[in-house]
Structure 1
Amino acid sequence: MDVLIHAVVGLHIIGIAALLGGFFFQMKAMRGGEARFVPGMLHGALTMLLTGMILVGLDRAAGDPVNNVKIGLKLALLLVILVLVYVKRDEEKVPSSLFGTVGALATANIFIAVLWA
């Protein structure tokens, strides 16, 4: 079971890497007001959602305690990210403030995962 959990955690990290990679790729364009949500950002967020749900299920199946408040907060942040990226995915230009919000929420999600015991 540990190997499966670690494999899913690896996929979860790949999802956040895709989301933040797309964000960092567009940072220069964000300064000029030309940033847009690339498809990899949406795919990364969806990967995070799917693997996060699998991880919660695997933890419960293994009998490990799950911090529902932490998971709920991470899910809420991810859902906001998903909605923003999905709704604005076809627009040529996204406002810098909206684009920056997605990056800040993704970063906050990482810090919640790492620092909240």
Structure 2
Amino acid sequence: MDVLINVFVGLHVIGIAALLGGFFTQMKAMGKGEARIGAGMLHGALTMLVTGVALIGLHQADDSPVNNIKMGVKLALLVVILGITYVKRDDERVSTPLFGAVGLLTMVNIFIAVLWV
């Protein structure tokens, strides 16, 4: 079970990297007001959702404790990120505050995962 959990953790990190990497590559364009949501950002967010839900299920199946409040907060943030990336995926330009919110919420999600014990 540990190997399977670690595989899903690795896939979860890949999803985070796709989402945050897409944000970072657009930061220069964001400064000019020309940022756009790339397909990799949407796919990264979806990967995070699928692997995150799988990880919760695998931990519960392994009788490991799961902090449901923490997971609920992380899920709520991810739903907002997914909503923004899905709705704005075809727009030529995304407003700077909205695009910045995607990056900020992603980083908040990472810090919640790492710091909330």
TM-score by length of 2: 0.99
How far the C-alpha of 1:77 sits from its partner, in A, is: 0.1
Instruction: Write the distance in 1 (CA, Å) between the matches of 2:10 and 2:95.
Output: 32
How far the C-alpha of 1:116 sits from its partner, in A, is: 0.6
Alignment match, 1:24: 24
Secondary structure of the 2:16 match is helix
Which whole-Å deviations, capped at 9, do the CAs of 1:49-69 have from their partners, x for residues lacking one? Answer: 000000000000000011000
- In the alignment, structure 1 segments of 5+ residues that lack a partner are none
Whether 2:60 is the aligned partner of 1:51: answer no
Report the residue type matching 1:34 in the other structure.
E
Report the residue type matching 1:25 in the other structure.
T
Moved over 6 A (4+): none
Alignment match, 2:74: 74
The number of residues matched between the two structures is 117
Secondary structure of the 1:76 match is helix
Instruction: Write the distance in 2 (CA, Å) between the matches of 1:66 and 1:3.
Output: 18
Task: Give percent identity, aligned residues only.
Answer: 68
